[in-house]
Amino acid sequence: MEDEEDNNLLWAFSCENGCMGILMVTCMVLTWILIHRWNQRNKNGPKTWPLVGAAIEQFINYDRMHDWLVNYLSESKTVVIPMPFTTYTYTADPANVEHVLKTNFANYPKGEVYHSYMEVLLGDGIFNADGEIWRKQRKTASFEFASKNLRDFSTVVFREYSQKLHAILSQASFQGQEVDMQELLMRMTLDSICKVGFGVEIGTLAPNLPDNQFARAFDTANIIVTFRFIDPLWKIKRFLNVGSEALLDKSIKTLDDFTYSVIRRRKSEIKEGRESSENDKMKHDILSRFIELGEDPENNLTDKSLRDVLNFVIAGRDTTATTLSWAIYMIMSNSQVAEKLYSELKALEEDRAREEKVSLLQYDTEDPESFNQRARQFARLLSYDSLGRLHYLHAVITETLRLYPAVPQDPKGILEDDVLPDGTKLKAGGMVTYVPYSMGRMEYNWGSDATSFKPERWLKDGFFQNASPFKFTAFQAGPRICLGKDSAYLQMKMTMALLCRFYKFALVPGHVVEYRMMTILSMANGLKVTISRRS
Q: Helix H segments across 90-130? A: 94-98, 111-122
Strand, helix or coil for residue 418: strand
Q: Are 126 and 290 in contact (CB under 8 A)?
A: no
As a whole number of angstroms, the distance between CA 238 and CA 218 comes to 18
* CB contact at 8 A, 391 and 447: no
Distances, alpha carbon 465 to alpha carbons 369, 396, 398, 451, in Å: 40, 12, 10, 19
H-assigned helices in 61-212: 65-73, 94-98, 111-122, 131-145, 148-175, 181-197
- From the DSSP assignment, how many helices (H) and strands (E) are in the chain? 22, 11
Ligand-binding site membership of 500 (annotated): no
CB 212 within 8 A of CB 183: no
466-472 long-range CB contacts below 8 Å, 24 or more apart?
Answer: 468/94, 470/94, 470/95, 470/97, 470/98, 470/101, 470/102, 471/94, 471/97, 471/439, 471/445, 472/398, 472/401, 472/402, 472/439, 472/440
Which residues are registered as beta bridge partners of 150? none
Coil vs helix vs strand at 147: coil
Q: Half-sphere exposure (CA, 13 Å, Cβ side) for 412?
A: 26
> What letter would DSSP give residue 425?
E
Cβ atoms of residues 521 and 405 within 8 Å: yes
Residue 138: closest CA among 476, 453, 413, 379:
476
Please give the Cα distance from 81 to 230 (Å, whole number): 13
Q: In b/e form, how buried is each residue of 205-221, taking b as 16+ CB within 10 angstroms?
A: beeeeeebebbebbbbb
CA distances from 166 to 193, 205, 451 (A): 18, 11, 31
Across 373-501, where does the E strand assignment appear? 410-413, 418-419, 425-426, 431-434, 459-460, 463-464
Burial class (CB in 10 A: 0-12, 13-18, 19+), 14: exposed
Q: Which amino acid is at 19?
A: C
Phi and psi, residue 432, nearest 5°: -120, 135
* Residue 344: φ, ψ to 5°: -65, -40
Which residues fall in the annotated binding site for heme?
482
Residues forming the annotated binding site? 482
